């Protein structure tokens, strides 16, 4: 560690600021720090603000009024236009995304948690090898698997089905990794032993006792898998042809490619984009207590 | 003791059964949807199509490394790799640098309201890449943008600039996520370490530079590796930008090249490209891991 030497060197240089110097430095640094924060906030939030404002505008106001401030309020008309367009195909896409991401992430979390818990709490032959192979899976990006999965599903004649998108998203190697770390740290062996003495089976102990102790990690896994599936684009793009099976990202992408032929669709793309991100932002805000502690405790060791 | 030994055999059996219940679901899915597809892609990449004359039926036969030779001679594929490497060399350090600075500021006593800022910076992560690209596509368009003063003098969608315009979209989405990972690492540093430094009169900047940054190197390596993987796999953003800019070709990034090759359809060549890209990704992230490990241990 170089840390102690560094600070000692600092002291021997003798260049300690007086008390006044210290306060002045902190006023200047405070101002600079807050300025950086404000600029960063503008950078990150302005596009979202623009999207929100644009979604409330009539078609003519969209191009003719200040893009960052409200004009005639047509938000609900715009929403009605999106959800009724082509027999409500947009709502169907939202539903599909909720199904793929909700069911997929829930099952993926349970499956990964069981595997991670088992690797953490049971000694068996090949345990470390198994864990390393799964860890290698973390480094395999979803997009790299899309084409191979397509080839495989087309062999089985199962492309263009719900399963082609849902089944591959049940696997979360990162979830196994996080569950193992978290289970080792937060599920004491004594508790498992106590449950055994009480006569509870191993599986029941996991579901009634361990999952409760692992809750922050489970919420983290669920959320990140949910986002990963909701955002996944290549797999549905390559697997699905039937528009009724599209997730909302793929649907909006297709609409956006049609803007040059059907200019009116642009307003639908803008409002649809806003509607598609609201569920994610709400989920993140509602669960922030869990995923922030989950990341802090397990994600980095 | 006597009861304990009597129970043990049955308990071992029970554990084995429990172990199977815990592990079999994940392992079977992992094999089916990770291992088998990769093996199948490798198998497919070793095939080649042969025809009897020009109009004869196409037959797939074993072609050895024919497709790999074709990949190495495929100029668009390599220029797409070059393009994402250039992208990564510029974008990844900027993104992680900004994420590190913001995380350090949030962790310092200089900033008030850090909870609000944390959420504000993280919010873009909740926006899917496709939606983020659509949104920024509008923001770059001269006639729609709120920043028309800028967009009328700089063309963000030209052949020279569009790669960097896409880099901005990726940065916008992922800075907050990376910041949060680094910030979590900062939170786990014990406070006592700072006490000593403060007694020695070290300022915030000095503490950040000499104590905090060295201690979050593992988090930086982690985020760096995931960023490199993400860069090589770039797909959704350029795919969307094809609607906004004719400069984004169907071979703009490796994954777009693979997608357009597969839709020809030239499945075997696309499979070989996938294998090469996966290997390149793996080698690159592994190298970064090793290099940074060596530097960190100095």
DSSP string across A136-158: HHHTS-HHHHHHHHHHHHHHTT-
Q: Does pLDDT of A191 surpass 60?
A: yes
Whether the model clears a pTM of 0.95, i.e. scores above it, the answer is: no
Average pLDDT, chain A: 86
B202-208 own/partner pairs: CB under 8 Å, 24+ apart: B202/A7, B202/A10, B203/A17, B203/A22, B203/A25, B203/A29, B204/A26, B204/A29, B204/B108, B204/B109, B204/B110, B205/A29, B206/A7, B206/A10, B208/B104, B208/B108
Cα–Cα distance measured from residue A32 to residue A24, given in angstroms and rounded to the nearest whole number = 12
- Find the mean pLDDT for residues B214-233: 90
- Nearest CB to A273: which of B98, B117, B131? B131
From A253-267, B18-32, B56-70, B86-100, the region with the lowest mean pLDDT: B56-70
Using a CB-CB cut-off of 8 Å, the residues of chain A touching B174 are none
Note the pLDDT of residue A169: 95
Q: Does pLDDT of A183 surpass 80?
A: yes
User: What CATH code would you report for A81-298?
Assistant: 1.10.3720.10
* pLDDT (tens digit per residue) in A46-56: 999 999 999 99
Note the pLDDT of residue B296: 57
Rounded to the nearest angstrom, the minimum Cα separation between A87 and chain B is 23
Note the pLDDT of residue A295: 62
Pick the residue with more confidence: B156 or B57? Answer: B156
Region label for A57, one of left (φ > 0), alpha (ψ between -120 and 50) or beta (otherwise): beta
In Å, what is the CA distance from A29 to each residue of B97, B108, B118? Answer: 19, 11, 19
Beta-bridge partner residues of B60:
B49
Note the pLDDT of residue B173: 96
Helix (H) or strand (E) holding B267: helix B267-297
Note the pLDDT of residue B14: 63
Structural domain spans, chain A: 18-73, 81-298
ipTM given for this complex: 0.87
Note the pLDDT of residue B3: 41
Angle at A276 between CA A274 and CA A280, to 5 degrees: 105
Which residues 193-222 in chain A show a CB within 8 A of chain B?
196, 201-203, 206
Which residues 163-192 in chain B show a CB within 8 A of chain A?
172, 175-176, 180-181, 184-185, 187-188
Domain B67-297 has CATH 1.10.3720.10: yes
Note the pLDDT of residue A293: 65
Q: Which residue of B has its CA nearest to A66?
A: B146
- Nearest CB to B130: which of A117, A168, A249? A249
Q: Which residue has the tokens 């599903």?
A: A153
Using a CB-CB cut-off of 8 Å, the residues of chain A touching B13 are none
Q: Which residue has the tokens 């979830």?
A: A175
- Find the mean pLDDT for residues B243-262: 93
Structural domain spans, chain B: 2-45, 67-297
Residue B241's nearest CA partner among B153, B124, B161, B147 is B161
* pLDDT (tens digit per residue) in B30-74: 999 999 999 999 999 999 888 777 777 778 888 889 999 999 999
Rounded to the nearest angstrom, the minimum Cα separation between B22 and chain A is 5
Asked if A33 and B218 come within 8 Å (Cβ–Cβ), the reply is no
Q: How many other CB atoms are found less than 10 A from the CB of residue B130?
A: 27
Residue B182's nearest CA partner among B228, B226, B213 is B213
Asked if B201 and A10 come within 8 Å (Cβ–Cβ), the reply is yes
Which residues 215-234 in chain B show a CB within 8 A of chain A?
218-219, 222, 225, 229-230, 233
Helix (H) or strand (E) holding B254: helix B254-262
Pick the residue with more confidence: A170 or B226? Answer: A170
Q: Which residue of B has its CA nearest to A113?
A: B22
Highest mean pLDDT among A121-135, B147-161, B282-296 belongs to: A121-135
- Nearest CB to B200: which of A8, A26, A283? A8
Using a CB-CB cut-off of 8 Å, the residues of chain A touching B125 are 227, 284
Q: How many other CB atoms are found less than 10 A from the CB of residue A281?
A: 17
Radius of gyration, CA atoms only, chain B: 26
Which residues 29-48 in chain A show a CB within 8 A of chain B?
29-30, 33-34, 36-37, 40-41, 43-48
Asked if B243 and A260 come within 8 Å (Cβ–Cβ), the reply is yes
What's the CA dihedral at B259, B261, B266, B270 to 10 degrees?
Answer: -70
B251 touches chain A (CB under 8 A): no
Q: Does pLDDT of A300 surpass 60?
A: no
In Å, what is the CA distance from B34 to each residue of A113, B31, B233, B268? Answer: 18, 6, 17, 19
């Amino acid at each position: 560690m170089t840390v102690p030497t560094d600070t000692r060197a600092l002291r021997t240089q003798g260049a300690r600021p007086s008390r006044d110097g210290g306060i002045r430095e902190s006023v200047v640094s405070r101002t600079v720090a807050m300025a950086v924060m404000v600029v960063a906030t503008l950078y990150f939030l302005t596009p979202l603000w623009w999207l929100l404002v644009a979604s409330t505008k009539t078609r003519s106001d969209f191009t003719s009024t200040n893009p960052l401030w409200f004009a005639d309020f047509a938000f609900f008309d715009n929403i009605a236009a999106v959800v009724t367009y082509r027999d409500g195909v947009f709502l169907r896409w939202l539903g599909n995304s909720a199904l793929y991401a909700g069911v997929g992430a829930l099952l993926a979390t349970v499956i990964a948690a069981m595997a991670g818990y088992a690797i953490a709490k049971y000694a068996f032959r090949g345990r470390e090898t198994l864990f390393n192979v799964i860890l290698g899976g973390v480094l395999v990006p979803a997009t790299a698997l899309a084409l191979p999965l397509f080839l495989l599903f087309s062999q089985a004649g199962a492309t263009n089905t719900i399963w082609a998108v849902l089944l591959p998203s049940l696997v979360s190697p990162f979830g196994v990794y996080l569950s193992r770390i978290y289970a080792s740290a937060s599920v004491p062996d004594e508790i498992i032993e106590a449950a055994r003495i009480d006569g509870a089976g191993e599986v029941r102990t996991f579901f009634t006792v361990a999952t409760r102790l692992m809750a922050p990690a489970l919420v983290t896994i669920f959320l990140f898998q949910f986002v990963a599936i909701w955002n996944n684009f290549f797999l549905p793009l390559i697997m699905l042809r039937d528009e009724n099976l599209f997730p909302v990202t793929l649907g909006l992408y297709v609409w956006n490619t049609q803007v040059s032929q059907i200019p009116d669709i642009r307003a639908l793309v803008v409002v649809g984009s806003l509607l598609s991100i609201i569920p994610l932002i709400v989920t993140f805000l509602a669960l922030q207590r869990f995923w922030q502690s989950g990341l802090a405790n397990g994600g980095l060791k | 003791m006597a009861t304990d030994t009597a129970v043990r055999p049955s308990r071992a059996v029970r554990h084995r059964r429990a172990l199977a219940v815990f592990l079999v679901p994940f392992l079977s899915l992992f094999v089916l949807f990770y291992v088998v597809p990769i093996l199948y892609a490798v198998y497919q990449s070793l095939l080649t199509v042969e025809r009897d004359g020009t109009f004869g039926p196409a037959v797939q036969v074993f072609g050895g490394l024919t497709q790999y030779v074709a990949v190495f001679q495929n100029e668009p594929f390599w220029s797409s790799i070059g393009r994402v490497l250039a992208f990564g060399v510029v974008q990844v350090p900027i993104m992680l640098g900004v994420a590190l600075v913001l995380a350090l500021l949030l962790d310092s006593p200089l900033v008030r309201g850090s909870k609000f800022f944390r959420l504000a910076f993280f919010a873009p992560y909740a926006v899917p890449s496709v939606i983020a690209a659509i949104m920024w596509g509008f923001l770059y368009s001269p006639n729609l943008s709120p920043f028309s003063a800028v967009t009328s003098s700089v063309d963000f969608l030209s052949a020279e600039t569009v790669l960097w315009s896409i880099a901005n979209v990726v940065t916008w989405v992922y800075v907050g996520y990376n910041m949060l990972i680094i910030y979590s690492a900062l939170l786990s540093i014990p406070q006592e370490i700072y006490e000593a430094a403060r007694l020695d009169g070290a300022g915030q900047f000095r503490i950040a530079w000499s104590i905090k940054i060295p201690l979050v190197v593992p988090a930086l390596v982690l985020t760096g590796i995931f960023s490199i993987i993400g860069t090589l796999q770039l797909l959704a953003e350029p795919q969307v930008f094809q609607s906004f800019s004719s400069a984004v070709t169907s071979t703009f990034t490796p994954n777009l090249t693979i997608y357009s090759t597969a839709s020809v359809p030239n499945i075997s060549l696309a499979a070989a490209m996938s294998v090469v890209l996966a290997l390149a990704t793996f080698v690159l992230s592994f190298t970064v891991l090793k290099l940074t490990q060596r530097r960190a241990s100095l």
